[in-house]
Amino acid sequence: MAIEIERRFLVRKDIRSLCRDGLSIVQGYLPSDDGRTVRVRVAGPDATLTVKSPRRGPCREEVEHPLPLDLALGLLRHSCRGGLIEKTRYLSHHHGLCWEIDVFGGENAGLVIAEVELSRPDQLVPLPDWVGAEVTNRAAYSNSSLARSPIRGWASAA
């Protein structure tokens, strides 16, 4: 069981210059009735099954396990509930921290979220000038929520 400490931000500037060597990610969620998320992810040639506890501020517990690619693809196609998340992940280093910039596609096209993993919850985070509003605690921006309720439906629901 690892603890993931993470802060998440919308990205507000044109970040095309940062978008080199992206990693294609498709992920979906198995049902879970206890508030944890059970994520199936295919990232490039690799696949994983990851269970995450509900978030407490920037922290959540996480267990990750590799899966064979064909098994993961089958789970994504036939066992996940809600839609799938499609995104391309780019990495950018800023003042010693590694930012993961997720450019969403599919039903969430237009959304860009940058995440930074920390070693402690109160760690100072020097913000790059391209980050915008923090969404760490905004549940609607979690990947599992975006799978169920992608942003394409937000305007019509508002």
Summarize as ranges the residues that interact with a copy of itself (CB under 8 A): 1, 30-34, 36, 38, 49, 51, 63, 65, 67-68, 70-71, 74-75, 77-79, 81
Instruction: Please tell me the distance from the alpha carbon of residue 55 to that of residue 142, in angstroms, as a whole number.
Output: 10
Q: Which residue, 69 or 139, is less far from a copy of itself as judged by CB?
A: 69
Q: Catalytic residue, from 9, 29, 104, 141: name it.
A: 29
Structure tokens at 65: 């396990």
Q: Which helix (H) or strand (E) segment is 46 a member of?
A: strand 46-52
Q: How far, in Å, CA of 127 to CA of 141, rounded?
A: 19
| Shortest Cβ 71–a copy of itself spacing (Å) | 6
90 has catalytic annotation: no
Q: Are 104 and 89 in contact (CB under 8 A)?
A: no
User: Considering the complex, what minimum distance in angstroms separates the CB of residue 21 from a copy of itself?
Assistant: 30
- Whose Cβ is closer to a copy of itself: residue 28's or residue 128's? 28
Q: Which residue number, 55 or 87, has a Cβ lying nearer to a copy of itself?
A: 55
Under 8 Å between Cβ of 129 and 114: no
Minimum Å gap between C-beta 29 and a copy of itself is 10
Q: In terms of CB distance, is 35 or 96 closer to a copy of itself?
A: 35
Task: Report the alpha-carbon distance of residue 156 to residue 151 in Å, rounded.
Answer: 10
> What is the C-alpha to C-alpha distance for residues 64 and 6, in angstroms, rounded to an integer?
16
Report the helix count and the strand count for the chain, using DSSP H and E.
3, 9
Minimum Å gap between C-beta 85 and a copy of itself is: 18
Enzyme catalytic residues = 29
